[in-house]
Amino acid sequence: MFFKKVFVLTFLFSSTIAAPVLAVDPVSMYFQNKSGSYEVEGDFQVAADCAVVWSVLTDYDDLHQFVGSLKRSHLEEYWGKNRFLVEQEFEGGFLFVTKRMRVRLDVREIRCKTILFEDVGRQDFEFYKGSWKLGADPDGELTVFYSLKAQQNFDEPFAGNYMKGVVKDLLDSVRREILRRQALNAVVHHPEP
C-alpha cells in the first residue's frame, strides 16, 4: 500500500511538472482589414525606464537593425522642434508573395509621452496615420500603445496578411529591443562587485 501511494504521488507530481504550459503573448493586438483599409491597436507592458523606451521608439536611423520587416529607416530632415521627416520601407509577405511598402512620415514628438506620425508621401497608401503612446502602470511598468489607421492604394493579394504580419513584427521587435537595452542599462549603471 505504501508503494502504491508513493507511486501515485510521484506520478501526480511529475505529470504536473511535465504538463504543457501555454505561453501568453506579451503583445496584444487588434487588427481589422476592410477592403484595404486597416485599423490597428496594439500594446505591451515593459519593466523599463522611460528614457530607454523612448530611445528605442525614436531610433529612426537604426530601427531596421532590430525590426526584421523594416528594410530601411532614415531620418531625412529636421522640421523644427520635435518634428521630423522619416523615410521607411518595410516588407510584408504571405506564403511566397512579398510586397515592399514605403512611407515618408511627418513625425511629431512629445518626449516620453507621444509620437504622432502621418505619411506625407502617399506612395503606397492613401492615408497612413498613427501614434505611439506611453502610459505608466501602478505597478511601475510602462505600457506602450500603438495605433494605426491606413488605406492602401495598391491591389495585391494577401495585403491584409502583409500588414498584420508587419505590425506584429514591429511590436514584438520593439518590445524585445526595449528589454535588451534595459538589461544593458542595468548592467552599466549597476555593475556587480
Instruction: Give Cα 58 to chain centroid, integer Å.
Output: 13
pLDDT in tens, 62-86: 999 999 889 999 999 998 899 999 9
- pLDDT for the residue 190: 60
What is the rounded CA–CA span in Å between residue 124 and residue 49? Answer: 35
In a domain, 7, yes or no: no
The whole-model pTM stands at: 0.82
pLDDT in tens, 130-141: 999 999 988 889
> Which CATH number fits the domain that encloses residue 47?
3.30.530.20
Q: With CA atoms as reference, report the closest residue to 27 among 10, 18, 40.
A: 40
In a domain, 1, yes or no: no
In a domain, 155, yes or no: yes
In a domain, 167, yes or no: yes
In a domain, 42, yes or no: yes
Torsion angle of C-alpha atoms 150, 152, 153, 156, degrees rounded to 10: 180
The domain total for the chain is: 1
In a domain, 107, yes or no: yes
Torsion angle of C-alpha atoms 121, 33, 65, 141, degrees rounded to 10: 110
Q: Which domain holds residue 118?
A: 27-189
In a domain, 144, yes or no: yes
In a domain, 156, yes or no: yes
- pLDDT for the residue 162: 75
- pLDDT for the residue 105: 97
Cβ-based neighbours of 12, under 8 Å, separated by 6 or more: none
